[in-house]
Amino acid sequence: MTVQARTLDISALADKLRGGDRAALARAITLVESVKPEHQAQARELVQKLLPHTGKAMRVGITGVPGVGKSTTIDTLGSNLVQAGQKVAVLAVDPSSTRTGGSILGDKTRMVRLSAERNAFIRPSPSSGTLGGVAAKTRETMLLCEAAGFDVVVVETVGIGQSETTVADMTDFFLVLMLPGAGDELQGIKKGVLEIADMIAINKSEGEGRNRAVAAAGEYRAALHIMQPASPNWSPPVVLISGLDNIGLDEMWAKVVEHRRCFEASGEFAQKRRAQQVKWMWTMLEERLHGRLRRDPQVKSRLHELEARVAEGALSPTLAVEDISTLLGL
């Protein structure tokens, strides 16, 4: 979809988006994802206009290794929530094609039930090489969905790299999906993921996998028990679910709601949201500086020479950085 920079009426777009116009929401997301400077300026204006109408949604991050059943679980959970009267948006951060930069997983094809719901919105977003595979504009897209009236915003990560930490920093609740049969998997799981999890759900716990799931849950509970909780007001629970058979998902969501209620009562919810806003500011500042580094013609012409000299051992990385910093006036 092409956004016409010269004719776009930001106020009209904001009004349509707030009225629940899905085409306006899609157009707004395309605008914030654009790398063109004129589009970025308009996106900043749009987000600022909509900011007073954001912040009420449940922001839930969901991760898990490939094959754990993230999309199936989100499809079923989202459908349950829609049937209960909620409006659900899913921002699925796809690994990008290294050749075209486009999304390659096609989440709408993996969330068949939810994509057919009127009160659901699914947006695959290419990671485009950003840190941890998380789309650079996911935060802005989340705000746009909130302004459009969505009650729940789910951010699905690719489950690799540092995307888990990045998504945990932009959501209220971070859910980690695991497979039955912890055993070797528990030995290899990144400790950092357990440290930031607000809940662990053992998926595919139906049928023959039930006993292995129960055993896995016991091992994860033991692992969490010896770790310091991220919050004194919440001990991450371990639950058994089946996204495919819709088992345990209502109980799992009840824990998400309980977490929100608990954190609002303690004041930790508002504190966390404020901290996330400041972190968002610094992230965007770093991206802006990195963009200038890549676009500045004087720096670009010098970079290739410096890279070659550093690679050959003729110049230390420290002196190369100093040279670039001087060119940028830093």
Which range among 101-105, 155-159, 174-178, 287-291 shows the weakest confidence by mean pLDDT? 101-105
Q: Measured between alpha carbons, how far is 301 from 264 in angstroms, rounded to an integer?
A: 52
For 54-97, write each residue's pLDDT tens digit: 999 999 999 888 888 999 999 999 999 999 999 999 998 755 43
Each residue of 105-151: pLDDT tens digit? 444 457 889 999 999 999 886 655 554 445 568 889 999 999 999 99
Which 8-state DSSP code applies to residue 242?
B
Q: What is the pLDDT of residues 239-278, one digit of tens each?
A: 999 999 999 999 999 999 999 999 999 999 999 999 999 9
Cα dihedral across residues 172, 175, 92, 117: positive or negative: negative
- Among 129-143, 192-206, 289-303, where is mean pLDDT lowest? 129-143
Q: 240: Cβ–Cβ under 8 A, 6 or more apart, which residues?
A: 201, 202, 205, 210, 213, 214, 217, 247, 248
The rounded distance, in Å, linking the Cα atoms of 71 and 110 is 6
* Percent of the chain whose pLDDT exceeds 90: 53
The confidence band for 154, taking pLDDT boundaries of 50, 70 and 90, is very high
Residue 315's φ and ψ, nearest 5 degrees, are -140, 135
Q: How far apart are CA 8 and CA 2, in angstroms?
A: 11
Confidence at 185, pLDDT banded by 50, 70, 90 = low
Place of tokens 């970079």: 303
Looking at residue 111, what is its pLDDT? Answer: 86
